[in-house]
Amino acid sequence: MCEAVVFLEEGDEVREVLKDVARIVTIDGVVTCTNIVGERVELKNVRFKEANFLSHGIVFVRD
């Protein structure tokens, strides 16, 4: 499986946002993450920071 875990970094804190993410779409500045069972999380005012394909982690940052 290729699912990822999405994290959000804010200041000194990094928190897990959603597990088993299979799709990430950006429309009009809103990042929508959807996992394999259809759960969705929208992230606003974020920017992409890192994708680590070895650990299956994707990090977004909110400044």
Please compute the mean of the pLDDT values over residues 13-32 and round it to a whole number.
97
Question: For the purposes of burial, counting CB atoms within 10 Å of the CB of 52, is it exposed (0-12), middle (13-18) or buried (19 or more)?
Answer: exposed
**Phi/psi at 8 (5° precision):** -120, 125
Structure confidence at residue 2 (pLDDT): 79
Query: What's this model's pTM, rounded to 2 decimal places?
Result: 0.94
Domain ranges of the chain: 1-37
* Model confidence at 1: pLDDT above 70: no
Alpha carbon separation from 55 to 7, 22, 45 (Å, rounded): 12, 15, 25
pLDDT digits (tens, 9 = 90+) for 14-23: 999 999 999 9
Please compute the mean of the pLDDT values over residues 6-31 and round it to a whole number.
97
